[in-house]
């Protein structure tokens, strides 16, 4: 099947001719029209080829394009290998860079790399959990859900602790990982299967863990790379579970391919109000269909009932997890998730919830974006 290419800001007819010779369906647009096209909900193009040969900066619409359509391939044609421009391009999610003298073969190869893998790779469902307040039980839920998914389905499951520093999912799983999610982010462009599996810790309970770092982050972390790491994990595993930091707005902006976003609340007024604010922001960013609420330590005699929470937050209550402080603390102290022994109502509740999530696996297959030239820069594959 011929690829559909949108050629943007072409300086002359050379690129158009190259693409036509390669048998591609090409439509040409002016640079000024890129933002309008990027904002459309449906894209006809498999890839965009952007002629930057007479430009010394990236069009700002590129970021809009990647944000609206993360899976679309982007190839830049430039006069030189300008390092700072390339860095900006990499950050904007550009997949390939071709510099002068441009040949027809080189351009076609670059496009094939960004288009072909996308047509066939399915990705796993990604279930994200974020607390409406600190200490509500988010990590407890994420850890037990990841463990239950692995045990119920026997499929490869990854828990990612996205609290970049000092998250505690590793404690809950009784492991001391050598590497962390920071290593994945910092090496995002050289991730391949072997490298990624070297970063994760295997756990006795079942799921693999990409842990939080136990060192404070001294260097600035480019959180925008997180979305690429999540996508990569979703191609390597059958299920991906995310334990999210609630106070990191940049991180909460990177969840493009997440299947469901569960806000964890309890029955305290301050938490419910904070859940409402968070739900509103997340619905605005990702649409209402993916955002829901779970109540941790649910007490049916509490003044604030589940209907009050649903009404205040304006999102459906997906699950109520009962309270069992003793079991929760014991499990944490021995580093063994509650669902492993499944002796308590709370453990049974995690399992029931996870069984529901595992049923979503069939519906979540989605195409994903390929690794392009920036995947090979600095990479020793
Ligand atoms: N359903 C529950 N019933 C009783 N206690 C619970 C329950 N879930 C979690 N806990 C306990 O609450 C405490 C906080 O849990 P957890 O670390 O999972 O919360 P968190 O929201 O991830 O916190 P943080 O904001 O620090 O990341 C722990 O001591 C845990 O054992
Ligand atoms: Mg936590």
Alpha carbons 257 and 268: distance in angstroms, whole number: 31
Ligand 1 atom closest to Cα of 321? 1
Atom of ligand 1 nearest to the CA of 134: 25
Which atom from ligand 1 is nearest to the alpha carbon of 332?
Answer: 31
pLDDT at 120 over 80: no
> How far is CA 380 from each of CA 182, 195, 302, rounded to the nearest angstrom?
19, 11, 57
Residue 179 Cα to ligand 1 middle (Å): 24
Kindly tell me if the per-residue pLDDT of 174 is higher than 50. yes
pLDDT of amino acid 376: 44
Q: What distance in Å separates the CA atoms of residue 126 and residue 173, rounded to the nearest whole number?
A: 20
Q: Which of 94-108, 148-162, 232-246, 355-369 has the lowest mean pLDDT?
A: 355-369
The ligand 1 atom at the shortest distance from the C-alpha of residue 264 is: 21
Q: How far is the CA of 81 from the centre of ligand 2 (A)?
A: 43
CA-proximal residue: ligand 1, atom 8 (nearest): 137
Quick one: how far is CA 153 from the chain centroid? 22
Nearest CA to ligand 1 atom 5: 325
- Nearest to residue 130, comparing CAs of 139, 122, 143, 117? 139
Averaged pLDDT for residues 233-246: 95
pLDDT at 1: 62
Q: Percentage of residues in the chain with pLDDT exceeding 90?
A: 63
Q: Among 7-16, 58-67, 293-302, 340-349, whose mean pLDDT is lowest?
A: 58-67
d(CA 351, CA 299): 19
Closest CA to 80 of 60, 59, 105, 97: 97
Q: Given strand 4-8, what is the order of strands in its sheet? A: 25-29, 4-8, 47-51, 73-78, 96-99
> 135 C-alpha to center of ligand 1: Å?
5
Integer Cα distance of 28 and 24 in angstroms? 12
What is the rounded distance in angstroms from the CA atom of residue 348 to the CA atom of residue 247? 30
| Ligand number, closest to the Cα atom of 263 | 1
pTM (predicted TM-score): 0.70
| Per-residue pLDDT reduced to its tens digit, 258-302 | 999 999 999 999 999 999 999 999 998 888 889 999 999 999 999
Pocket of ligand 1 (CB under 6 A): 131, 134-140, 296-297, 321, 323-325, 328-329, 332, 346
Pocket test residue of 134, 140, 161 for ligand 1, highest count of atoms within 8 A of CB: 140
Residues 137 and 159: their CA atoms lie apart, in Å, by 16
- For ligand 1, mutation pick of 248, 325, 336, 345 (most atoms within 8 Å of CB): 325
Q: How far is the CA of 270 from the centre of ligand 2 (A)?
A: 18
**How much distance in Å is there from the Cα of 134 to the middle of ligand 2?**
7
Ligand 2: centre distance to CA 182 (Å): 17
Looking at the predicted structure, is the pLDDT value of residue 345 above 80?
yes
Atom nearest to 163 CA in ligand 1 = 27
Ligand number nearest CA of 274 is 1
The pLDDT value given to residue 83: 85
Buried b vs exposed e over 344-356: b needs ≥16 C-beta within 10 Å? bebbebbbebbee
User: 30, 186, 168: which is closest to 159 by C-alpha?
Assistant: 168
Q: How far is the CA of 135 from the centre of ligand 2 (A)?
A: 7
- pLDDT tens figures, 176-205: 999 999 999 988 877 888 999 999 999 999
Q: Which ligand lies nearest to the CA atom of residue 135 in the structure?
A: 1
Of residues 271, 283, 280, the one with CA closest to residue 309: 271
Share of the chain above pLDDT 70, in %: 91
Angle subtended at Cα 72 by Cα 67 and Cα 73, rounded to the nearest 5 degrees: 120
Closest atom, ligand 1, to C-alpha of 297: 1
Lowest mean pLDDT among 50-64, 84-98, 106-120, 149-163: 106-120
Ion ligand 2 neighbours, Cβ < 5 Å: 138-139
Instruction: Please give the distance, rounded to the nearest whole angstrom, from the Cα atom of residue 80 to the centre of ligand 2.
Output: 46
Q: How far is the CA of 145 from the centre of ligand 2 (A)?
A: 14
Q: How far apart are CA 293 and CA 60, in angstroms?
A: 35
């Amino acid at each position: 099947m011929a690829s559909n290419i949108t050629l943007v800001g072409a300086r002359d007819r050379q690129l158009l001719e190259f693409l036509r010779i390669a048998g591609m369906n090409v439509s040409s647009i002016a640079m000024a029209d890129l933002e309008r096209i990027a904002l459309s909900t449906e894209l006809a193009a498999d890839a965009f080829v952007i002629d930057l040969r007479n430009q010394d900066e990236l069009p700002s619409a590129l970021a809009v394009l990647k944000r609206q359509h993360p899976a679309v391939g982007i190839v830049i044609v430039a006069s030189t290998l300008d390092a700072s421009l390339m860095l900006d391009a990499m950050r904007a999610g550009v997949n390939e860079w071709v510099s002068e003298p441009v040949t027809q073969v080189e351009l076609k190869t670059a496009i094939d790399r960004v288009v072909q893998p996308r047509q066939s790779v399915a990705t796993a469902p990604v279930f994200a959990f974020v607390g409406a307040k600190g200490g509500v039980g988010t990590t407890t839920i994420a850890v037990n859900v990841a463990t239950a998914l692995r045990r119920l389905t026997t499929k490869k499951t990854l828990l990612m602790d996205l609290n970049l520093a000092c998250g505690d999912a590793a404690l809950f799983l009784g492991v001391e990982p050598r590497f962390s999610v920071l290593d994945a982010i910092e090496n995002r462009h050289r991730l391949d299967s072997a490298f990624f599996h070297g970063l994760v810790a295997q756990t006795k309970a079942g799921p693999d863990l990409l842990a939080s770092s136990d060192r404070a982050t001294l260097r600035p972390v480019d959180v925008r790379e997180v979305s690429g790491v999540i996508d990569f994990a979703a191609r390597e595993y059958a299920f991906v579970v995310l334990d999210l930091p609630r106070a990191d707005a940049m991180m909460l902006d990177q969840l493009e391919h997440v299947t469901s976003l569960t806000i964890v609340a309890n029955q305290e007024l301050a938490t419910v109000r904070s859940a409402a604010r968070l739900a509103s922001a997340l619905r605005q960013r990702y649409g209402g269909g993916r955002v829901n609420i779970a109540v941790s330590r649910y007490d049916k005699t509490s003044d604030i009932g589940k209907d009050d929470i649903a009404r205040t937050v304006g999102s459906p209550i997906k699950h109520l997890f009962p309270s069992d402080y003793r079991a929760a603390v014991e499990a944490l102290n021995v580093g063994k998730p509650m669902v492993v022994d499944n002796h308590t109502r709370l453990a049974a509740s995690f399992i029931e919830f996870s069984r529901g999530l595992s049923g979503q696996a069939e519906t979540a297959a989605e195409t994903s974006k390929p690794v392009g030239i920036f995947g090979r820069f600095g990479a020793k594959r």
